[in-house]
């Protein structure tokens, strides 16, 4: 594949990534309007986000495996087609139950799309070109993060919350039309699908997360943990949903825990800010969306700078600067600093984290592990987002924005600690990873 076709294929993948993030952020702003029209319990506000991210997270590992079996391009195309259909159905929903069902279908479709994007980038590029390609994910995430709240507010105020779902239709159709640029790729070993493993992880994680979205129930959580233990044992001896070789060292497992914690803060923070502005400050949807611009712009600029200059020069230790900036920005909100300044600092930290994090995590992955690793990374990221929205929203509604922010600072600090294991594992397992002096 020549360079122009390779970068055009990357553009298709990045639009698909943006479409996924846009679908999360745009609904966060529109959720209060959805609740006002369709009714239901107050807890359904967080369900409109988690109803998408939870099935997305739980099926991502299987989505990665389907790419290994069916081919990444074919699986990508199936996912985009399902995503377009589900988005149209969401726009037509007439009650909360139908909307949540269609949101779950959106999430399941996205689970077929996203593991293929990282997997295809992994095989399209190597060396410095891969770092540049991964560095473009951050600006695209920033653009989608900018567009989501702003579009959500503008469309909800100008027309209806239903229009926020219809945005996905032309985007998805364009991606589907251009997907022929992607070269087909699949695992040479063609692993079989592990349906039992999929069922165990879906049931186990669902039982753990569901009480976070509604009311705490220790029995459900205990049952979920028990099912997840069975899943681990099944994978250890019989399953093939997860490549066991990924867990032989410290680096990749530490990366998964870091991803869970960091993206819990990232997703939960934006939801708390939107709810704070609309429910406490009585701002309209447009104002709430525009208030997130500093966060989104900081993310876009810092991730571009990290991918283009900082990571190639200083290596993955840049992610610790991201953790520090994010924690400082969130603490600023809790301490009463100007909200826009605090969000700009937090967004800068998010961008400084994402590029070196994915670069370090993928440095540990061998070609045969690509589908499983991509599915795991994205699954944990989305599961973290679901947990973050659930926990931080619950804390905010039960207390106030200050307590929610200090909770987020604690989670951010924990992510910095676990990131040490990722960096040390990368240094040990991947000699090609840059190791700047002093680290």
Residues of the chain with pLDDT > 90: what percent?
Answer: 30
Q: What's the rounded Cα separation, in Å, for the pair 30 and 103?
A: 14
List the one residue out of 11, 16, 20, 17 whose CA is nearest residue 133.
11
> And the tokens for 427?
């240094």
| pTM score of the predicted model | 0.75
pLDDT: is 170 or 69 the higher one? 170
What are the residue ranges spanned by the domains of the chain?
A: 3-179+240-429, 195-239
Residue (of 340, 168, 333) closest to 265 by Cα position:
333
Nearest to 374 by CA among 387, 357, 386, 362: 362
CATH number for the domain whose boundaries are 3-179+240-429: 1.20.1250.20
Nearest to 231 by CA among 379, 332, 401: 379
pLDDT digits (tens, 9 = 90+) for 217-274: 889 989 999 998 998 888 878 777 777 888 888 888 999 999 999 989 988 898 899 8
Tally Cβ neighbours within 10 Å of residue 294: 22
> Residue 273's closest CA among 332, 321, 324?
332
| CB half-sphere exposure, 287, CA atoms < 13 A | 10
* Digit-coded pLDDT (tens) for 138-157: 667 666 766 777 777 788 88
Q: What are the angstrom distances between the C-alpha of 134 and each of 127, 192, 334, 425?
A: 11, 29, 32, 20
- Condensed to tens digits (0 to 9), the pLDDT of residues 287-342 reads 887 888 898 888 878 988 887 889 888 888 999 999 999 999 999 999 999 999 99
What tens digit of pLDDT does each residue of 405-430 get? 999 999 999 999 999 999 987 655 44
Which pLDDT score is estimated for 276? 93
Question: Exposure string (b/e) for 261-281, b if CB count within 10 Å is 16 or more?
Answer: bbbbbbbbbbbbbbbbbbeee
């Amino acid at each position: 594949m020549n360079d122009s076709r390779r970068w055009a294929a990357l553009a298709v993948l990045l639009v698909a990534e943006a479409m996924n993030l846009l679908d999360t952020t745009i609904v966060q702003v529109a959720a209060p309007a959805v609740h006002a029209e369709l009714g239901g319990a107050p807890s359904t506000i967080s369900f409109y986000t988690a109803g998408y991210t939870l099935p997305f997270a739980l099926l991502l590992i299987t989505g990665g495996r389907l790419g290994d079996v069916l081919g990444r391009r074919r699986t990508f195309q199936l996912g985009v087609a399902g995503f377009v259909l589900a988005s149209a159905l969401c726009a037509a929903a007439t009650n909360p139950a139908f909307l949540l069902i269609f949101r779950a279908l959106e999430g399941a479709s996205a689970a077929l799309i996203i593991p293929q994007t990282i997997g295809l980038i992994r095989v399209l590029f190597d060396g410095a070109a891969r770092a540049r390609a991964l560095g473009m994910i951050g600006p695209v995430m920033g653009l989608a993060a900018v567009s989501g709240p702003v579009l959500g507010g503008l469309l909800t105020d100008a027309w209806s919350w239903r229009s926020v779902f219809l945005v996905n239709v032309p985007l998805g159709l364009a991606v589907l039309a251009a997907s022929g640029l992607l070269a087909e790729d699949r695992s040479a070993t063609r692993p079989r699908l592990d349906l039992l493993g999929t069922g165990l992880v879906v049931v186990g994680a669902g039982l753990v997360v569901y009480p976070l979205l509604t009311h705490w129930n220790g029995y459900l959580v205990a049952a979920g943990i028990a099912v997840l233990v069975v899943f681990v044992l099944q994978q250890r001896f019989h399953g093939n949903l997860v490549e066991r070789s990924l867990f032989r060292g410290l680096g990749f497992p530490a990366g998964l825990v870091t991803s869970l914690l960091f993206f819990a803060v990232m997703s939960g923070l934006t939801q708390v800010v939107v709810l704070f502005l609309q429910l406490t400050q009585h701002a309209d949807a447009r104002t709430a969306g525009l208030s997130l611009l500093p966060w989104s712009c900081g993310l876009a600029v810092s991730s571009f700078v990290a991918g283009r200059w900082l990571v190639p020069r200083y290596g993955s230790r840049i992610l610790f600067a991201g953790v520090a900036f994010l924690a400082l920005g969130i603490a600023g909100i809790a301490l009463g600093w100007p909200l826009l300044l605090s969000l700009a600092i937090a967004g800068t930290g998010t961008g400084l984290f994402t590029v070196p994090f994915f670069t370090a995590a993928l440095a540990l992955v061998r070609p045969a592990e690509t589908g499983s690793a991509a599915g795991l990374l994205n699954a944990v990221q989305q599961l973290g987002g679901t947990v973050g929205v659930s926990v931080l929203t619950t804390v905010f509604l039960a207390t106030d924005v200050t307590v929610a922010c200090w909770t987020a600072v604690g989670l951010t600090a924990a992510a910095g600690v676990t990131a040490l294991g990722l960096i040390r594992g990368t240094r040990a397992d991947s000699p090609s990873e840059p190791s700047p002096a002093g680290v």
